[in-house]
Amino acid sequence: MNAVGKTNLLNSYIENVFLERYTPTTFEEYINNRIFDNKPVNFHMIDTSGQEVFDHIRPFCYPQTDLFLICFSLIDPASLKNVWKKWYPEVRTHCPNTPVLLIGTKLDLVEDKVILKNLTEQKRTPITYRQGLAMRKKIGAVDYLECSALSPNQFEMDFDEAIVLSQKCKKPKPWNLKFFYRCCLY
């Protein structure tokens, strides 16, 4: 699952930067300090590669993860299939009780005429909101969001809501006072 928009989403959310050119990611860490629920919180986000060559490395990022963000591209139906066939099983194998947030990326391209023409030529269509909700239900995600890296403010509001939901689904860890919040993206 490559080029679904994870890295641009993180760059947009944390640094307010949209990268025009795609650069494959192997492993990137992002730290974001902010106020959440009237407390200072350190968000530690890990962007991992979807390439098979890294399948044995990704699980080293999993321990102590508070929330998994499983992303797929709204303009790539195969990426939604990968949620069910690859990412959800991988996350559940290693962290069966950690909440998952399902995110459809590239919302800004769903109505792009060139993209739609290419999809039509391939006898494919963009993923609908209803399809995203169905996958959310199928994998038991705490929420489903659709977003664009071009609109980081909307994603920030949605992401904050998802964090609240994920915390309601978790048993508190006595050592974790929620000054540190760790997310992994797939």
> 19: how many CB neighbours lie within 10 A of its CB?
12
- Short-list 186, 149, 147, CA closest to 48: 186
- Note whether 2 and 78 are within 8 A (CB): no
Report the DSSP pairing between strands 27-36 and 39-48. Answer: antiparallel
Put residue 53 in one of left, alpha, beta given phi > 0 → left and psi -120 to 50 → alpha: alpha
Class of domain 6-185: alpha beta
Q: Which segments in the chain show pLDDT lower than 50?
A: 1, 173-181
* pLDDT at residue 1, as a whole number: 40
Q: What is the dihedral of CA 113, 116, 122, 126, to 10 degrees?
A: 160
